Amino acid sequence: MSQESFQQQQQQLSQPSDDQRRLAQLISHLFPSNATCHSDPNNSLSLHSCSGSSNPYPYGSIQPSTNDPKNCLSCYAISSNQMIQHTLERYESETHRNIRNRIYELVRKNPKLFERRFGLTKDEERYLSHDRLEFIIQQLKPFEMEHFKTDPKRIFTVLETLSMIDFGSCGRCMIHFGLFGASILFFGTEKHQPFLQRIVKDLSRDFFGMFCMSELNHASNVQAIETRAIYDHSTKTFQIVTPSDSAVKVWSGGAALLATWAIVFAQLIVNNENKGVHTFLVPIRSEKDHSVLPGIRIRDLGSKIGLNSLDNGRVWFDHVTIPKDYLLDRFGTITDEGTYKTSIPDAGLRFLSHVSALLIGRIMTASSSILALKLALEITLKHAIHRKQFGPTLDKEVPILSYLSYQRRFYPYLAFTYVMQFAVEDLKMRYEKPSKGAENKMMHTLADCLKAKCSETAFNGCQECRKGAGAQGFLSVNRIGEMRTIADASLTYEGDNTILYQTAARNLMKRGSTIPKLKKLTNLWDLQQLQQIFEFRDATIEQAYVKKTALLAKKTNNAFEASVRTQDLALKLCNSYVENHAIKVFMKEALESLSQENKNLGQVLERLALLLVFTWIQQDGFFLQHGLISSEQYGQLDDMINSICEELTPLVPMLIKSFNFPEDIVTNVPMGPKLVEMMAYDKIYD
């Protein structure tokens, strides 16, 4: 955008803008399907800026006609249905939609089981989340284990839907099917097929599987775990041994109360030789009377700061005997002669194969983080539309959503959910296609980075929502705390975010990117030009990281030392990569692919992307430091963000409705429009 047109736009923006005008504008747009152009110069109450009209749009197909007098975002009559169709539904088939709707329907028909309950004891909470999961799986049979390979989106659909109903049930679903069952599916062989058939069919309080990978002293560094599985050829059995208290299995979800079976990660010892980490199927409790089996000691992990519906525990194994066939032997097996045989001679690669099943969990964590942020935003922003505080006079208070500072706090998170949704859906599609070698590694890297970026931003965003809902945000019944907890735990499980970034950086540095020739940034409204500077940042940091690591390794003759002293660059590289990737996917999937008839949606989506990109530029001094943006342009960003905030405000009801959460069972909280009515009840909840 030229300096001149930007100034013109600023003049438009600085037209008389009193609170009355904002209020009238906001109210007139609460139902966006009725939105019309209110740029009537004779009516000061309905004036609003058509800042969009002076923007040069780079996307030909969605460029509004210059003859269109309604050339501004809030002039468009965009329904939430249209938005849902282009942001959510295009990624799901009729089958997946039906599964989601059938789960919602089951919840509706069984209000007693699914009503939100508070103040339960630890065990009551645990049984409740289990019973809900069991009921849904047994009633609907929404997937089979084979679907993890043939139709993983089915699994994502179930997990995502559950996550918004009861995250405890979702967590249990992830543990029993996504970790326990998927380990048998991916690491097991033909002989494990009969057991695999039980995973869905037999799920009950007496048949539940857990995943014992983390140990007290080694959780991030799984390769260094101490638990041993010692093979005895004379009996054709393994002895599972916890050699010291520091090797106790910790955090295993399901251990404290319900689990009857476990996948145990242990060092495989054959003929006194360590063959590295392998996985074993171990019975934990009797399926008949639930007693803990001989040689196993289990203790509760205690009260947590959230997610207490998951019964995480500690497990010790004192020479627990299991048959030879309980080794999940896809990557390494014991022959009839009692020797070790593997198709992957490299121990490091063999280990990586064993943790590859975690990928689905990481993708799911990225997705559930975005969902948690969406739900927190919907509840908060709906409240903010109705909540009035202060105004030009005592009797003319205005909605808190009309305050600029409020919009600046939340709209970037709103934009994040829209942009990142496309990146996560794109990742799911990559996951569906079989991939090998470098392509497969890159998918893992992308999943690591998206999981870290989404959970980190969701946690910060949910915390902002907690504050943005005022004191109401502190009530359990309003669900914002619940969403913040989901995001909080997501920072650590399925891999600590910092560790994931560092692992991803080691792969990203091998891309051998060349730094693109820098073209001058002439138009800040041009997403294509902006993407170029993100591309430049990604490649520049990669090269700096490669160079510094090599230099330090040479100087210190110590590769570990070099990797430690370049960790700052590793983290920056992953952040640059994932932001650049998300913008690229969004431009391709959300903007370019929208046809002429969807130009209104394209406009809104583009504005959301610009808001996020401006926010990211403001967060990182790199762009200024490297002259990718001039100080003059940088100085314009705040006003540009403000103008987008103003444009988006009338669309907020549509944008949050487009998240598509059913109001009766997911977002029914005593806030926003229901605040006074529901808070007047004698009891808010029972």
Ligand X SMILES: Cc1cc2nc3c(=O)[nH]c(=O)nc-3n(C[C@H](O)[C@H](O)[C@H](O)COP(=O)(O)OP(=O)(O)OC[C@H]3O[C@@H](n4cnc5c(N)ncnc54)[C@H](O)[C@@H]3O)c2cc1C
Distance CA 112, CA 593 (A): 44
Interface with ligand X, residue 492, by CB under 6 A:
yes
Query: Which residues have C-beta within 8 Å of that of residue 121, sequence separation ≥ 6?
Result: none
Which of 173, 185, 219, 527 touches ligand X (CB under 6 A)? 219
Q: Is 498 in the site for ligand X (CB under 6 A)?
A: yes
Cβ-Cβ contacts under 8 Å for 307 (sequence gap 6 or more): 167, 168, 171, 485, 486, 489
Element (H, E) at 322: strand 320-323
For ligand X, give the closer residue by CB, 157 or 279: 279
Smallest separation, CB 308 to ligand X (Å): 10
253 touches ligand X by CB under 6 A: yes
Phi, psi angles (nearest 5°) of residue 368? -70, -25
- Taking contact as CB under 6 A, which single stretch among the options 82-90, 114-122, 185-193, 214-222 is the one that binds ligand X? 214-222
When asked if residue 220 is in the footprint of ligand X (CB under 6 A), the reply is yes
DSSP count for the chain of H helices, then E strands = 25, 11
Pick from 252, 308, 600, 633 the residue near ligand X by CB under 6 A.
Answer: 252
d(CA 226, CA 215): 8
The residues in 618-657 that bind ligand X, with binding defined as CB under 6 A, are none
Give the Cα separation of 259 and 204 in Å (integer). 10
Nearer to ligand X, 32 or 168 (CB): 168
In the complex with ligand X, the residue whose CB is nearer, 25 or 309, is 309
Q: Where are the alpha helices (DSSP H) in 469-558?
A: 480-490, 497-508, 527-556
Token pair for residue 308?
Answer: 């207490």
Q: Which of residues 370-399 bind ligand X (CB under 6 A)?
A: none
Q: Does the annotation list 627 as a binding residue?
A: no
Beta carbon of residue 39, minimum distance to ligand X (angstroms, whole number): 52
- Contact region with ligand X (CB under 6 A), list: 246-254, 455-463, 547-555, 588-596: 246-254
Q: 18: Cβ–Cβ under 8 A, 6 or more apart, which residues?
A: 392
Which residue type occupies 341? K
Per-residue mark of binding to ligand X, 436-475 (x: CB under 6 A): ----------------------------------------
**Contact region with ligand X (CB under 6 A), list: 44-52, 210-218, 401-409, 537-545:** 210-218
Q: Please state the separation of Cα 386 from the chain's center in Å.
A: 29
With H, G, I as helix, E, B as strand and everything else as coil, classify residue 245. Answer: helix
Strand partners, 322: 238
* Residue 256: CB minimum distance to ligand X, A: 11
Nearer CB in complex with ligand X: 268/310: 310
Of the residues 357, 489, 582, 651, which one makes contact with ligand X according to CB under 6 A:
489
Which of 89, 397, 496, 620 is in the footprint of ligand X by CB under 6 A?
496
Decide: is 313 part of the binding site for ligand X (CB under 6 A).
no
Active site residue 606: no
- Taking a C-beta distance cutoff of 8 angstroms, is the pair 679, 472 a contact? no
User: By C-beta, is 51 or 497 nearer to ligand X?
Assistant: 497
* Nearest approach, Cβ of residue 158 and ligand X (Å): 19
| Token pair for 658 | 């487009």
Which of the residues 482, 494, 535, 579 is marked catalytic? Answer: 494
Task: For strands 209-212 and 249-253, give the pairing.
Answer: unpaired
Using the rule CB under 6 A, which residue among 106, 344, 355, 499 binds ligand X?
A: 499
Report how far apart, in Å, the C-alpha atoms of 523 and of each of 527, 538, 624, 636 are: 9, 21, 16, 12
Binding status of residue 76 toward ligand X by CB under 6 A: no
Q: Does 531 bind ligand X (CB under 6 A)?
A: no
Task: List, in sequence order, every residue forming a beta bridge with 229; answer none if it has no partner.
Answer: 240, 268
Question: CB under 6 A: which stretch of 134-142, 240-248, 386-394, 490-498 binds ligand X?
Answer: 490-498
Q: How far is the CB of 121 from ligand X (least distance, A)?
A: 19
> Near ligand X by CB under 6 A, which window of 15-23, 115-123, 495-503, 568-576?
495-503
Burial class (CB in 10 A: 0-12, 13-18, 19+), 320: buried
Site string for ligand X, 161-180 (x = CB under 6 A): --------------x-----
Query: Contact at 8 Å (CB) between 334 and 340?
Result: yes
Whichever of 369 and 421 has its CB closer to ligand X, that residue is 369
493 in contact with ligand X (CB under 6 A): yes
Q: Which of 211, 238, 317, 577 binds ligand X (CB under 6 A)?
A: 211
Stretch that binds ligand X, among 75-83, 105-113, 122-130, 247-255 (CB under 6 A): 247-255
Site for ligand X in 117-136 (CB under 6 A): none
Please report, for residues 33, 79, 87, 91, 418, the alpha-carbon distance to residue 84 in angstroms, rounded to integers and kept in the order given.
14, 9, 5, 10, 11
Rounded to the nearest whole angstrom, what is the least distance from the CB of residue 302 to ligand X in the complex? Answer: 12
Q: What is the DSSP string of 254-319?
A: TTTTT-SEEEEEEEEEETTEEEEEEEEEEE-B-TTT-PBPTTEEEEE----SS-TTS-EEEEEESS
Stretch that binds ligand X, among 154-162, 208-216, 630-638, 671-679 (CB under 6 A): 208-216
Beta partners for residue 228, in sequence order: 241, 267
DSSP class of 174: I
Give yes or no for residue 356 binding ligand X (CB under 6 A): no
Radius of gyration of the chain (CA): 27
Question: Could you give the 3-state DSSP secondary structure of residue 647?
Answer: helix
C-alpha closest to that of 243 among 265, 254, 227: 227
10-69 residues in contact with ligand X (CB under 6 A) are none
Shortest reach from residue 250's CB to ligand X, in Å? 7
3-class SS of residue 338: coil
The residues of the shown chain that bind ligand X, judged by CB under 6 A, are 175, 211-214, 219-220, 251-253, 307, 312, 489, 492-493, 495-496, 498-499
Catalytic residues: 494
Please state the residue numbers annotated as binding site for FAD: 253
